[in-house]
Amino acid sequence: MKLSRLAPSIFVLLWSTGFVGAKYGLPYADPFIFLSLRVFIAALVLFTVALFIKSPIAIGRRDLTWSAIIGFFLHACYLGGVFFAISQGFSAGVAAVVTSVQPVLVSLLAVKVLGEKLRSRQIIGLICGFLGVLLVLTPGLSNDLPVSGFVAILIALLGSTTATLLQKKFGSEIPIISGTAYQYIASAIVLLFAALATGGTSIQWSGHFIAAFVWLIAVLSVGAVLLLLWLLNTGSAASVSSLFYLVPPATAVEAYVLFGESLTRQEVVGIVVTAIGVWLVVRASS
């Protein structure tokens, strides 16, 4: 079987494990220092890859500025929000569902930011997506989860949405590998300051943490990101966008097997409704 046929399934599998990896490693480290160190090492790996394949490393001031801004929203806000929410008690599955609404928000905001038109099917999808998220989040309101966790996961959603719009509008001309590395460097600095400001600088270098740490760097920050970029470069941008609504079900299954995270009937219905909503939006866009 050709790699082009396997790549989408591999991407969904790898991307979904990011939420599970966070859940696996966070008992041994504070979220912001965990992420800061992770993305900094990932940047070094990508710079090494760029040298190896002779991809340009030096970029202009404009590209560097936009890389830093996109990195702030994508890695500091999105990853930082997800990690903090999970550290506050959010399940990996719920975090994946909330952030999977990103393509819906992108389609809505693209009407103003990118001048795209919103179709009737997309409007229905928007409604379904938000109803699905409400169904998933409602049980958490009765489980005494801290407000900070809800705020963090919403910041993650807004961060990934903003980063996507900025990447579409300003980042298309930036060298992919080095641009991503500079994104990581900028976000590593922000996350380090966040760790220092909150006093969360503790890491226990246990076997479990090292396993999660290596997995998140090698498989997610390098492997999944480069696979995503390869898929986009082969002209399958529309199909790549549609893959994100498959991530929450995959994450829910992985979290159930590894951590015993169970889903209520309402949460299962919420996942299905969210997936339908995102599918409607992405399908109409493509």
pTM of the full predicted structure?
0.81
User: What's the confidence (pLDDT) of residue 131?
Assistant: 80
User: What's the confidence (pLDDT) of residue 188?
Assistant: 97
User: What's the confidence (pLDDT) of residue 285?
Assistant: 56
By CB neighbour count within 10 A (0-12 exposed, 13-18 middle, 19+ buried), where does 115 fall?
Answer: exposed
Q: Which residues contact 265 (CB under 8 A, 6 or more apart)?
A: none
User: What's the confidence (pLDDT) of residue 8?
Assistant: 76
Cross-strand bridge partners of residue 203: 29
Tokens matching residue 186: 């900028």
- Determine how many CB atoms are found less than 10 A away from the CB of residue 177: 21
The total number of structural domains that make up the chain: 1
CA 16: distance to chain centroid? 9
User: What's the confidence (pLDDT) of residue 111?
Assistant: 66
Measured CA to CA, the distance from residue 138 to residue 266 in angstroms comes to 9
C-alpha torsion 163→166→168→172, nearest 10: -100
Q: Which residues contact 42 (CB under 8 A, 6 or more apart)?
A: 181, 184, 217, 221, 222
The DSSP string of 253-270 is: HHHHHHH-----HHHHHH
Q: Mean pLDDT for each 10-residue chunk of the chain (286 residues)?
A: 70 87 92 96 93 86 92 93 90 78 71 66 76 72 74 91 81 84 95 94 94 94 80 54 71 80 77 77 61
User: What's the confidence (pLDDT) of residue 140?
Assistant: 58
User: What's the confidence (pLDDT) of residue 240?
Assistant: 60
Name the residue range of residue 164's domain.
3-285
